Each structure stands twice: as structure tokens, then as C-alpha cells.
Amino acid sequence: MKLLQTFSVRAKLFLGFGLVLLMALLVAGLALARIAALRQTVQDVAESGVRRITLGQEMKYWLRATDDDGAWLLDFRTAADIATYQQKYQQDVQQVNTLLQQAQATANPAEAQALAQFTTQWTTYQQG
């Protein structure tokens, strides 16, 4: 306490201001570090969401293609047409299976449950 009495008022104010400034810089540094970490987390979530949406849209496209090519198989009577659309149909099925595996690899628990139901229906569709 006696040490503080030896300083002038000006020096005490300067020292107090310096401490406040140092604390403000420390808080700002911590805030910037947290913001950087949060920004990375938000970016990861956003990219993950975009990948999942894109994957879902691709799967929808290939499911429709599979259905269309399967329907054409019922309409054609020549062996050449049947062979062509059988090959297209098999390629479509393979593409859906690939996308399904990718979706299962990145799914959260709720999505995994929905994908399990879809997989059951998809397997039934392929068998039947």
C-alpha cells in the first residue's frame, strides 16, 4: 500500500489505464479465438449440409432414372431395345447403390434410421 502512495496521481491513472487496456486486449484475443473456432464449426456444418442435400438430390435423380428405364423395359419388344435398357437400368441401380453407401457413411443417427427404412424398400423394389 505504501508503494502506491509514492506514485503520483498521474502515474496511478496511467498504470490503471494500462491494466484496463491489457485486460481488454486479453478479452478481445479470447473472443477472436472463440469466433475463429465457431466459424470453422459453422463452416463444417454448412458444408456437411450442402453435401447431404446434393447427395439426396442426386439419389432422387437416379431413382427416377431407374424407374424410367425399368418402365421402358416393359414397353419394348425387340431384343436389342431390351438389352439397351437393361444395361441402362443396371447402371442406374449401381449409381443409386453407390449414392446410398455414401449417404450411409455420412448419416447422423436420425438419417441412419431413415436410410435403413429406405434400404429395406429399395431392396424389396430390386427383388420384386
Boundaries of domain holding 68: 2-127
Q: Does the predicted model carry a pTM greater than 0.75?
A: no
Residues 6+ apart with CB under 8 A from 56: 103
Distances 112 to 59, 66, 69 between C-alpha atoms, Å: 15, 23, 28
Split at pLDDT 50, 70, 90, the class of 1 is low
What is residue 17's predicted lDDT score, i.e. its pLDDT? Answer: 94
What is residue 23's predicted lDDT score, i.e. its pLDDT? Answer: 96
Q: Model confidence over 67-107: pLDDT tens digits?
A: 887 777 777 777 887 888 888 888 888 998 898 888 888 88
At residue 4, what are phi and psi to the nearest 5 degrees?
-70, -30
Looking at the 3D structure of the chain, how many domains does it have? 1
